[in-house]
Amino acid sequence: MGGVLEGVRVLDFGRYIAGPYCATLLAEFGAEVIRVEKRDGSEDRFVAPVGEGGEGALFLQVNRNKKCITLDPMKPQGQEVMRRLVATSDVVVANLPPQTLRAMKLDYESLKEIKPDIILTTATAFGGPGPWSDRVGFDGVGQVMSGAVYMTGKGDPPYRAAVNWVDFGTALHCAFGTLAALIERGKSGRGQVVEGALLATALSFTNATLIEQAVISANRVPTGNLGQTAAPADIYRTSDGWVLCQVTGQPLFIRWARLMGEDHWLSDPRFADDIKRGDHGPIVSERMARWCAERTTQQAVDTLGQAMIPAGPVLSPQQALEHPHIRATGFMQDVDYPGLPNPAPTARAAVRLSETPGEIVTRPPTLGEHTDRVLADIGYDADAIAALRRDGTI
């Protein structure tokens, strides 16, 4: 495939998002990634199905550029296959609970016996050490325990985000950690464990709010879309939709006040800094709401954009797909997959390298698509592969 990680082999035992997307990012920059699935398909393959075979939208997003084999690692023959795979690999990605890693012999001590310089990248729900270390959880658990959900919406009920920002944030941290571990191994020859946790990610993203609470006991409560530490910061109705505007910092506020024709607010002590503007947010937002209501969404975002004030339209998923800027940037790449009625618009890695860019080269694999090829690469002949298939190992 080429790329900065060419020559790095990754075994992906990950499920859902944190592990698989970490491995996808490595694959996008050139690593050979082998996804290992259950014989009848792992459960994350079928979330939000969109294809004839039941493959889901999430699977299509986070498994491009990979090979796929099926394997039952709990069988003795499966353990031998796994040992051979580990012996030829640089990284094992497995966002599984510690007890599951031990049962599958994917824990670091077991892996080191096979390949002393192996890197194990893992992610759990809660991290450790701690009383909840062995518990399982999904993205929403991190959201609710970090303070983020408490501060979202208007409080009754609280709202979690519809997108899995904790999972994807954990994948990003794990990919970063894996790259750091590969650099260290290049210097010292040592492998190590790279450990992410959903709760750790959520706490890091919410950290400023937690710092504010610990230091000054702000005791903030949710206020919907209305910002609390600057203004205007809200979502406003236009004549044909909605627009978000966020003004933080004095230079932006000066530009906004002059655009609104409220120059006298620049000397008003109520609006002297971000915190004071946040404290008087309803006043500032009422002015912005009147301005937006007199304009279409396009007029509002164009005028604000020309004034160098951060703003954007609230888009439906279909509108996001059709937005001219999103289309022009090439952020999304259409990827075909067997059985899909339409290509899947797949987001590329959200970082660009000028000299060695990542790329989506191959579609996500069908179940077990590369089993025979991968096993042949590690020394199994056709008869041995057929025997493994007959006994249910692959």
* pLDDT per residue as tens digits for the range 229-286: 999 999 999 999 999 999 999 999 999 999 999 999 999 999 999 999 999 999 999 9
Task: Examine the pLDDT at 68 and tell me if it is beyond 90.
Answer: yes
Q: Average pLDDT, stretch 69-92?
A: 96
139-151: pLDDT as tens digits: 999 999 999 999 9
| pLDDT value of residue 2 | 74
Rounded-to-integer distance, Cα 102 and Cα 97, Å: 9
Task: Give this prediction's pTM.
Answer: 0.95
Given a contact cutoff of 8 angstroms between Cβ atoms, the answer to whether 348 and 331 are in contact is yes
What is the tens place of the pLDDT at every residue in 196-212? 999 999 999 999 999 99
| Percent of the chain whose predicted confidence (pLDDT) is above 90 | 97
Q: Which residues are catalytic?
A: 167
Q: Mind listing the domains of the chain with CATH numbers?
A: 9-205+329-391 (3.40.50.10540), 242-313 (3.30.1540.10)
Average pLDDT for 30-51: 96
- For residue 208, give the 3-state DSSP assignment: helix
Task: Report the percent of the chain where pLDDT is more than 70.
Answer: 100
- Bridge partner list, 244: 235, 312
pLDDT value of position 128: 87
Alpha-carbon 257 to chain mean position: 37
Any long-range contacts for 385-390 (C-beta under 8 Å, 24+ apart)? 388/77, 388/81
Counting Cα atoms < 13 Å in the Cβ hemisphere of 54 gives 9
Question: Mean pLDDT of all residues in the chain?
Answer: 96
Task: Measure the CA–CA gap between 170 and 138, rounded to whole angstroms.
Answer: 11
User: What's the confidence (pLDDT) of residue 13?
Assistant: 96
- Alpha-carbon gap, residue 280 to 292, rounded angstroms: 19
pLDDT digits (tens, 9 = 90+) for 236-248: 999 999 999 999 9
Q: Does 359 have pLDDT greater than 90?
A: yes
Q: What is the pLDDT of residue 301?
A: 98
